[in-house]
Amino acid sequence: MADSSAQRITQGALMIAVFSVLSRLLGLLRDRLLATHFGASATLDAYYAAFKMPNFIFNTFVLGALASAFIPIYIKLKNQPNKDESLQLSNRVLNILVIFLLAVALVGSVFATQIVPLIAPGFSPDTSVLAVKLTRLMMFAIVIFGASNLFGSVLQAEKRFTAYAIAPVLYNLGIIVGIIILVPWFGIIGLAWGVLLGSLAHLLIQWLAAQKNGWTYQPTFGWRSQSVKQVFKLLAPRTLGLAANSLNDIITAAFISRLSVGSLAAFSLAINLHSFPINVFGVSLATAVFPVFSQAFSLKQHDDFRHHFSRSLRRILFYVIPMAVLILVLRAQLVRVLLGSGSFDWNATIRTAQMLGFLSLAMISDSLIPLVARAFYAIPDTITPVLASGASMVINFVLLLVLQPWGLNGIGVAYVIASLTNVCLLFWLLGKRLGNLGTANVVAGVKFMVAAAGLSACLTYLTLQLVAPLVNMHTFWGIFLQGLAAGGVGLLTYVFLTSWWKLPEVAFIKSIWQSVINLWCRYVSRTA
């Protein structure tokens, strides 16, 4: 049981991580195109502000909340003799969700004129008008994403991760098409049409995959069904927790909108860069292990639960600790190389890099939150994470008020402290709930990871200084070569030290690499 579960987690995490990397690379291309075309401008401020209300609704009622409430109940029904009940549950939740989100989208679209000034009170009248137009279109993307995420939850519960992993890639491709093709045709409103196009592609691939796995549509609601009631009972507190997180984002955006033009764009671009390793390592591994958490707790295999938790925790830390320190050291090079072209000038680079420096300090905590939260959802306990999210939201709001004179730097400090508060509370409360979390094993490995990351950071910084006089720092290729050389030295240092100390995570990476090679060899032999 443990070996097969570990294999499924590894395969699922690998699949999600690979496509997450591809999706994030496309996301970087998307952001580079946005920065090149619009710079850190009022137009890009309006675009990112237009995402806030749809994201608030979607993140609150669907993303994370749906999977955390739906998957444990779905798996429980699948383990019963009458497996058709799990199919009925998915259809009932789908139908209820789509109707609810459609009604919310219509209301949000009608009242966008009143909503946008609340989100961005510091915008000029012209920027607010543009944000309203974009918001009205983007509101309907939440209906499409709602249905898509229901299919994604079904696929996760069935441990079918391929289409689930590919869907974000298609979403980013849709936005890129919007920037390259639709904006020249329709103007800035083409960005919103690109979001809708990407969301449709996100839905289509997961719907087709669910059908291939045996899912069929049924026009049923079953409001009074016991399983539906259980899902929405678990969904309610999780929704409150996500509402706190999303409200946090809106409050932060409101504060940023009062700063200079382009501040919201700089913050949003930095957040996207910050999210790259979090989604690739933290979210992918947490997503893959969640069904195993749920099954282990359902079967009362608490030792397996703790084993998978501590091992997944170590693996996330193994990847994210060096990424956090390298991004901190290389933040200016990263921003300039990835975003610095066209209308994205040096001033925008400095502001974005400063924000990325602060966010890198929260990278480890932000990467652990998805794993610890899913441990609670599998118990199932969706209330406790709400308390942690609420506490971090209050702290963030107070700090935003106190640190207003610091501008974007104050926003960064508030974000870091709120994130650390959230993850510390989650760990403390999970420990009180489950007792031993395997922390001795985690600490034993983390001290080596920190030491290796610290030395790699020092050598990375030293390499930056040594290479700078050898290249033209006023050109793209000069900055690129400087960052590449320094990052390569830092990464090789970390890999060498952790291999020398024989950390099991290194052996895990080697086994994954060998699996990839074996799969490729089999594919080549079959097609030869």
Give 257-307 as a DSSP string: HTSSTTHHHHHHHHHHHHHHHIIIIIIHHHHHHHHHHHHHHHTT-HHHHHH
203 pLDDT more than 80: yes
400 pLDDT more than 80: yes
106 pLDDT more than 90: yes
Over pLDDT 90: what percentage of the chain? 30
483 pLDDT more than 90: yes
Q: Residue 125: is it exposed, middle or buried by C-beta count within 10 angstroms (0-12/13-18/19+)?
A: exposed
Dihedral sign computed on CA atoms, order 507, 512, 515, 520: negative
Q: Averaged over 364-369, what is the pLDDT?
A: 94
348 pLDDT more than 60: yes
- Choose the weakest-confidence range: 154-163, 177-186, 397-406: 154-163
419 pLDDT more than 90: yes
431 pLDDT more than 50: yes
pLDDT of residue 81: 67
pLDDT of residue 520: 62
The CA R_g of the chain, rounded to the nearest whole Å, is 23
Q: Averaged over 265-276, what is the pLDDT?
A: 87
pLDDT of residue 44: 82
Q: Which two tokens stand for residue 209?
A: 């995959």
pLDDT of residue 524: 60
pLDDT of residue 475: 86
If phi > 0 it is left, if psi is from -120 to 50 it is alpha, else beta; for residue 380 that is beta
15 pLDDT more than 80: no
146 pLDDT more than 80: yes
pLDDT of residue 13: 59
* Lookup result for tokens 């030395």: 455
Q: Averaged over 74-81, what is the pLDDT?
A: 77
66 pLDDT more than 50: yes
Over pLDDT 70: what percentage of the chain? 89
Q: Averaged over 10-34, what is the pLDDT?
A: 75
pLDDT of residue 1: 44
6 pLDDT more than 60: no
Q: What is the pLDDT of residues 294-311, one digit of tens each?
A: 777 777 777 888 888 888
Q: Please, which residues have CB within 8 angstroms of residue 430's CB and are 6 or more apart in sequence?
A: 372, 375, 376, 384, 437
On average, the pLDDT of the chain sits at 84
Q: Averaged over 263-292, what is the pLDDT?
A: 84
482 pLDDT more than 70: yes
Give the SS3 label for residue 502: coil
pLDDT of residue 197: 94
Q: Please, which residues have CB within 8 angstroms of residue 300's CB and are 6 or more apart in sequence?
A: none
5 pLDDT more than 70: no
DSSP per-residue string spanning 111-173: THHHHHHHH-TTS-HHHHHHHHHHHHHHTTHHHHHHHHHHHHHHHHHTT--HHHHHHHHHHHH
Q: Averaged over 234-258, what is the pLDDT?
A: 77
523 pLDDT more than 60: no
pLDDT of residue 2: 45
Predicted confidence band of residue 16 (pLDDT cuts 50, 70, 90): low
Residue with more model confidence, 304 or 400: 400
- Choose the weakest-confidence range: 213-217, 391-395, 505-509: 505-509
362 pLDDT more than 90: yes
- Domain parsing of the chain, residue ranges: 42-247
